């Protein structure tokens, strides 16, 4: 860990959960005078109790604005707390720096960062990069949204490691000096508009990944995405393009069903184990990073011929009496579900969908529903999805209370050869704490059928 001190610094940590807890503990260790403020009452708040035992001041149960009457030097906020939150807004009015824990991780980390972001495919790409670097003996560590909080991993990282980090737009809005050696931007789609307000603001947040890079760093970017190209134009990093639609003079691309790096053939697409055409972009991005770091082709091929995906992202669960079950709970927006449906374009699908209503409609799903024979709906968005299903000509539509009840209904109306796919096209927060919890409940319900 780099020798960083926060001695005599007064820091307010807003919001706990995993990232707030890790940030508070790190700042305390670095000598800061830490105050933690969390909405959850103290008697229900195990993280706050844990911090109190360390002698850290906690204020729980509400977000009192008068906290900011105190002379804080820094506010570290949980990424999920919007900038419209009264305390955050007041802090910014006062000129108080507002960051997320990723900024702290960068400050203390001895290892170079690889930062991966995009509307879809972050987790798959992050995992692929980690696996390729691991296979190539490059000593990677993995952090961020995908698992362990970045500042926890950063504490143990050494100069010869690579910190492979999945990053959300929420996290990237709260960076000041963060500078990844390699930055990956996969795609930009209408997502999290309830948080960012506009697609332009959302894209700008993603672009923070590049803002401190120099020509000595790399930006691995999708040549097929117009918004990515716009954001990449603002980057000072050396650009490495990838494309799933056309050959490139340099970079990673597909040509005649072969995957190339520059003019060097890496693998035949038919040999890749990970299903779905949409995953080819993720693979191209991961290959680009691996080649930049010096991973040999044999190690890359070993990963691509064995890696079948990550949990909750088009995860194969089981086959029961000829019905194949897939868990795509991480499909929290329309684009992700479009890609999941495209992966099974020539097979009959029973779709399980629904969740948090963010105010959007689902008409963009209609062209992808031609092979969906039935749909089982749950959550706040069920009525909107029913309208879309009817417009797509789907006659078999069921409403259920939740994912657990959706599974037996889907099985009952299915036939051998059907794909039963959980791909909600919505966030989970109307019924579940996380998309992981939603996916785990789906998996459990499938196994109960046995």
The DSSP string of 280-323 is: HHHHHHHHHHHHHHT--HHHHHHHHTT----TTSSEEEEEETTE
Secondary structure (3-state) at 85: coil
Q: Which two tokens stand for residue 419?
A: 């794909």
Using an 8 Å Cβ cutoff, are 362 and 381 in contact? yes
Buried b (16+ CB within 10 A) or exposed e, 265-275: ebbeeeebebe
Name beta bridge partners: 268.
258
Instruction: Give residue 298's Cα distance to chain centre.
Output: 28
Q: Give dist(CA 158, CA 348) in Å, integer.
A: 49
Secondary structure (3-state) at 431: coil
Determine if residue 121 is labeled as part of a ligand binding site.
yes
List of residues 6+ apart from 196 with CB closer than 8 A: 169, 202, 205
The DSSP string of 206-228 is: HHTTTTT--TTSEEEEETT-HHH
Buried b (16+ CB within 10 A) or exposed e, 276-286: bebbbbbbbbb
Pairing of strands 396-399, 372-377: parallel
Determine if residue 148 is labeled as part of a ligand binding site.
no
Determine if residue 360 is labeled as part of a ligand binding site.
no
Determine if residue 138 is labeled as part of a ligand binding site.
no
Determine if residue 337 is labeled as part of a ligand binding site.
no
List of residues 6+ apart from 234 with CB closer than 8 A: 207, 210
Determine if residue 123 is labeled as part of a ligand binding site.
yes
Determine if residue 118 is labeled as part of a ligand binding site.
yes
Question: Phi then psi for 425, rounded to 5 degrees?
Answer: 65, 15
The DSSP string of 221-258 is: EETT-HHHHHHHTT--SEEEEEESSS--SSSEEEETTE
Binding-site entries: 118-124
Binding-site entries for ATP: 118-124
């Amino acid at each position: 860990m780099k020798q960083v001190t926060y001695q005599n610094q007064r820091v307010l940590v807003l919001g706990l959960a995993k990232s707030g807890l890790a940030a508070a503990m790190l700042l305390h260790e670095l000598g800061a005078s830490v105050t933690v403020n969390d909405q959850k009452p103290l008697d229900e708040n195990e993280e706050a109790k844990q911090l109190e035992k360390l002698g850290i001041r906690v204020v729980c149960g509400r977000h009192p604005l008068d906290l900011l009457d105190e002379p804080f030097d820094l506010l570290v906020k949980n990424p999920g707390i919007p900038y419209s939150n009264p305390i955050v807004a007041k802090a910014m009015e006062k000129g108080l720096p507002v960051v997320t824990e990723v900024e702290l991780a960068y400050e203390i980390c001895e290892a170079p960062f690889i930062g991966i972001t995009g509307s879809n495919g972050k987790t798959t790409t992050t995992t692929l990069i980690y696996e390729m670097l691991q296979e190539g003996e490059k000593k990677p560590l993995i952090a961020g949204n995908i698992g362990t909080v970045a500042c926890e991993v950063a504490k143990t990282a050494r100069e010869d490691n690579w910190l492979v980090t999945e990053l959300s737009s929420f996290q990237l809005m709260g960076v000041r000096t963060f500078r990844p050696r390699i930055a990956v931007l996969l795609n930009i789609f209408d997502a999290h508009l309830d948080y960012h307000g506009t697609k332009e603001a959302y894209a700008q947040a993603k672009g923070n990944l590049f803002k401190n890079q120099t020509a000595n760093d790399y930006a691995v970017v999708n040549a097929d995405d117009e918004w990515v190209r716009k954001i990449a134009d603002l980057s000072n990093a050396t650009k490495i393009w990838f494309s799933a639609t056309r050959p490139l003079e340099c970079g990673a691309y597909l040509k005649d069903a072969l995957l190339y790096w520059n003019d060097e053939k890496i693998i035949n697409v038919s040999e890749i184990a990970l299903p779905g055409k949409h995953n080819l972009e993720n693979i191209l991005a991961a290959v680009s990073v691996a080649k930049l770091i010096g991973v040999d082709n044999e190690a890359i091929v070993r990963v691509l011929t064995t890696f079948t995906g990550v949990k909750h992202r088009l995860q194969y669960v089981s086959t029961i009496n000829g019905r194949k079950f897939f868990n795509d709970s991480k499909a929290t927006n329309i684009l992700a579900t479009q890609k999941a449906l495209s992966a099974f374009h020539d097979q009959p699908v029973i779709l399980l969908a629904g969740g948090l209503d963010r105010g959007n409609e689902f008409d963009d799903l209609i062209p992808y529903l031609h092979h969906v024979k039935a749909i089982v709906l749950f959550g706040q968005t069920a009525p909107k999805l029913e309208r879309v299903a009817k417009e797509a000509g789907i006659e078999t539509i069921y409403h259920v209370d939740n994912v657990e009840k959706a599974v037996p209904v889907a099985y009952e109306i299915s036939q051998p050869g059907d794909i039963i796919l959980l791909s909600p096209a919505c966030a989970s927060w109307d019924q579940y704490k996380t998309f992981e919890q939603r996916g785990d409940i789906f998996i459990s319900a499938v196994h109960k059928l046995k």
